[in-house]
Structure 1
Amino acid sequence: MPDASRGGAVSATDERFMRAALHAARQAQARGEVPIGAVVVMDGAIAGAGCNQPIGTNDPTAHAEVVAIRDAAQRTGNYRLTGATLYVTIEPCQMCVGAMVHARIARLVFGAPEPKAGAVESTQRAHEHPTLNHRIEVAGHVLEAECRSVLQAFFRERRE
């Protein structure tokens, strides 16, 4: 289990909601998309969910995080998701971090790091840019091995 030094305390609740994000990732995989899933949690319940779908929608912004934020905003009737936690199976890119800031996501919990495009710890700390008017608490490496395994299996299968 990740320790607090890597971005905050992690609980059994975090693991439960990360498993929901993993379920969404498997839905993406079934559609031939890169298996990344996300859920937005508000008041202890899933307010929105999404899986990666840029290929099927011809929308380069249809990352799992953005889809989940859109779903939560529609369900709540508010684009500001104040107090929400976003769970995602991989470290978000810069675009997704920007969407989280605009949606006022309070906390981000991610699974596997993304060494090429991850914008929370791997390539930069986009959520800490001094010009931002909102801060996001981050906890990482939750169910990291399982999140990484889903991605690795997908790409291994594609290479065969």
Structure 2
Amino acid sequence: MTDADFMALALRHAEEAFARGDWPVAAVLVRDGAVLGIGQNRQNTESDVTRHAEFEAMRAAALQHGADRVIGSTVYSTMEPCPMCAGAMKLAGIGRLVLGLRHATLRRTDLGEYSIETFCRLAGYDLALTTGVLEAECLALRRRWGKDQVRAH
């Protein structure tokens, strides 16, 4: 499967999160071409601000396959991971991140000047990064949701 295939899988799960009333974000954790974990944002339906998609995917993979299998894996996320998730990815040993959509593209105001690159530089995290995979589709879903705090154009 290609990066676009794994991102398409993440998008299907983001649609499920959206339909359920959660933030439309999902993540797929892959190692050696195999899906080890899938996570959907659940922070609204579970009333828990830590139930982000990346956390859920890493948790699912570690519980099913062992935490050591997560090391060196790739996370495919429909949205740029927040600082909390980026920190968890560093601690888990995630080696690569494939992004659909960036906070800057949405013009979000609630995260200041944050970017995954800034986090990695400050935290000494050597993360391989691929951006813009199915970006238009990720953006369309996010705009349908319409609850981001954004700057005017």
Length-normalised TM-score, structure 1: 0.81
The answer to whether residue 127 in structure 2 is matched with residue 136 in structure 1 is yes
Q: Does 1:81 align with 2:70?
A: yes
Q: CA deviation at 1:128?
A: 2.1
Query: Take 1:143 and 1:48, find their aligned partners in 2: how far apart are those partners?
Result: 20
In structure 2, distance between residues paired with 1:81 and 1:34: 24
Pick from 100, 115, 122 the counterpart of residue 119 of structure 1. Answer: 115
- Superposed CA RMSD: 1.7
Contact 2:23-2:44 at 8 Å conserved across structures:
no
Structure 1: 5+ residue stretches without partners: 1-11
Please report how far the alpha carbon of residue 34 of structure 1 lies from its aligned counterpart in structure 2 after TM superposition: 1.3
Identity %: 41
* Mapping 1:69-108, distance limit 5 Å: 69-78=58-67, 81-108=70-97
In structure 1, distance between residues paired with 2:56 and 2:68 = 13
Q: Deviations over 1:40-85 (max 9, x none)?
A: 0011011000111111111111111111111111111226611200
Q: Tell me the matched-pair count.
A: 140
- Normalising to structure 2: TM-score of the pair? 0.85
> Aligned equivalents of 1:84 and 1:93: distance in 2?
18
Structure 1 segments of 4 or more deviating over 2 A?
Answer: 115-119
